[in-house]
């Protein structure tokens, strides 16, 4: 069982990125063939099952390493990826997997994974910040976009939950789920709003991230694109759930919120691309952080597609399609590198000592935060 000793929770990003390729394609004005999306979803489901088993073995046989991950401020936030992997596969079952397993089975699978993913998401949103404050004792100089992961997970629940609303009995069950998703939206949005300033401040005052962490800049796109998607889906289902002006208000809110937030997401995307190009020129090699090129970009695809539906503007449909092409290209590149790393054994080997620039970044903290 030594093979899984260094298998961290960050590996769930492979599931998230793969499921996003399937689900984001369904939102496009001209979606890929259903069989292709269903095949990609099936792959994400297989990856999820394999990782759940492997991580269970990790906890069973390497509990010391698992506990070390929880106490490591660089690894613990990735527990949010477990929640998002469950949610992403469930959501993709609804939009892509139903072509193979049928609508009833897809709805049941989505409901089960949505429930489990939401519970894990809420737990991660509480436990990881608690550990950061009490046990990790991180300093401002250690802030990275990875810190956002446990806070983004409830936003994924908020964006995917509305698809289950029409399958509930009319009345209070539907309204309860819709408003619960809206509460998850607020929880994640406010948490992200508190966490993002130190991350951005660290970039301005501390200089560029270490080369290996540069792709994590794309993680900031996650709460931006996913929240735009969420408000659009609230507006989609509201007419069958809410009565009176609330339904129309959500439709207006989907545009008034989504347009500026997606605009900021595109600004951040340009910044992240520029820094990634720089890092690549300086010798950045492949690592699992490259999976940040997939799921966060996919949230911008679904966000742009949502705005295309609610504004009727062709430009947003074109934007969604263009970003989807980028998503698929990034997924292919990262998946190939990951497969090669698995075959060679390099990705599951013991981590190498931190590069000098990463060690310097860790030292630029208070003495109590140095680890």
DSSP 129-144: HHHIIIII---GGG--
| pLDDT for 352 | 64
Contact (Cβ atoms closer than 8 angstroms) between residue 178 and residue 242: yes
| pLDDT for 360 | 47
Q: Which residues of the chain have pLDDT under 70?
A: 1-2, 140, 351-371
* 3-state SS, residue 75: coil
Supply angle C-alpha 230, 197, 298, rounded to 5. Answer: 35
With CA atoms as reference, report the closest residue to 21 among 54, 55, 47.
47
Contact (Cβ atoms closer than 8 angstroms) between residue 320 and residue 25: no
| pLDDT for 328 | 97
| pLDDT for 140 | 66
| pLDDT for 330 | 97
| pLDDT for 371 | 34
Q: Alpha-carbon torsion 254, 255, 256, 262, what sign?
A: positive
- Which of the 8 DSSP states describes residue 116? H
Residues with Cβ within 8 Å of 343's Cβ and at least 6 positions away in sequence, in order, are none
| pLDDT for 29 | 92
Domains identified in the chain and CATH numbers: 2-353 (1.50.10.150)
| pLDDT for 230 | 97
Q: How far apart are the C-alpha atoms of 69 and 64, rounded to whole Å? A: 9
């Amino acid at each position: 069982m030594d093979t899984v000793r260094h298998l961290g929770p960050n590996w769930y990003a492979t599931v998230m990125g793969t499921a996003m390729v399937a689900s984001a394609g369904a939102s496009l004005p001209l979606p890929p063939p259903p069989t292709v999306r269903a095949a990609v979803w099936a792959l994400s489901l297989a990856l999820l099952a394999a990782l759940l088993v492997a991580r269970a073995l990790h906890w069973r046989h390497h509990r010391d390493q698992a506990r070390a991950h929880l106490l490591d401020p660089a690894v613990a936030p990735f527990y949010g990826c477990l929640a998002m992997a469950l949610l992403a596969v469930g959501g993709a079952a609804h939009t892509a997997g139903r072509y193979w397993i049928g609508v009833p089975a897809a709805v049941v699978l989505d409901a089960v994974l949505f429930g489990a993913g939401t519970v894990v998401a809420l737990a991660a949103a509480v436990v990881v910040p608690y550990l950061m404050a009490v046990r990790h004792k991180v300093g401002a100089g250690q802030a990275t976009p990875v810190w956002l992961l446990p806070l983004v997970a409830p936003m994924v629940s908020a964006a995917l939950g509305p698809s289950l609303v029409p399958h509930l009995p009319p009345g209070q069950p539907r309204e309860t789920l819709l408003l619960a998703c809206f509460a998850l939206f607020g929880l994640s949005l406010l948490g992200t709003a508190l966490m993002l300033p130190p991350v951005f401040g660290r970039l301005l005052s501390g200089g560029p991230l270490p080369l290996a962490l540069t792709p994590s800049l794309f993680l900031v796109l996650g709460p931006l694109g996913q929240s735009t998607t969420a408000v659009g889906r609230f507006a989609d289902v509201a007419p069958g759930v809410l009565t009176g002006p609330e339904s129309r208000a959500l439709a207006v809110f989907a545009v008034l919120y989504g347009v500026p937030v997606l605009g900021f997401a595109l600004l951040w995307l340009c910044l992240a691309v520029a820094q990634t190009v720089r890092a690549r020129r300086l010798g950045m090699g492949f690592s699992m952080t490259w999976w940040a090129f997939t799921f966060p970009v996919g949230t911008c695809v679904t966000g742009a597609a949502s705005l295309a539906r609610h504004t009727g503007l062709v430009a947003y449909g074109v934007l969604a399609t263009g970003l989807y092409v980028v998503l698929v290209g990034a997924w292919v590149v990262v998946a190939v590198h990951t497969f090669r790393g698995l075959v060679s054994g390099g990705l599951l080997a013991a981590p190498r000592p931190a590069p000098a620039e990463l060690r310097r970044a860790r030292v630029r903290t208070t003495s109590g935060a140095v680890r």
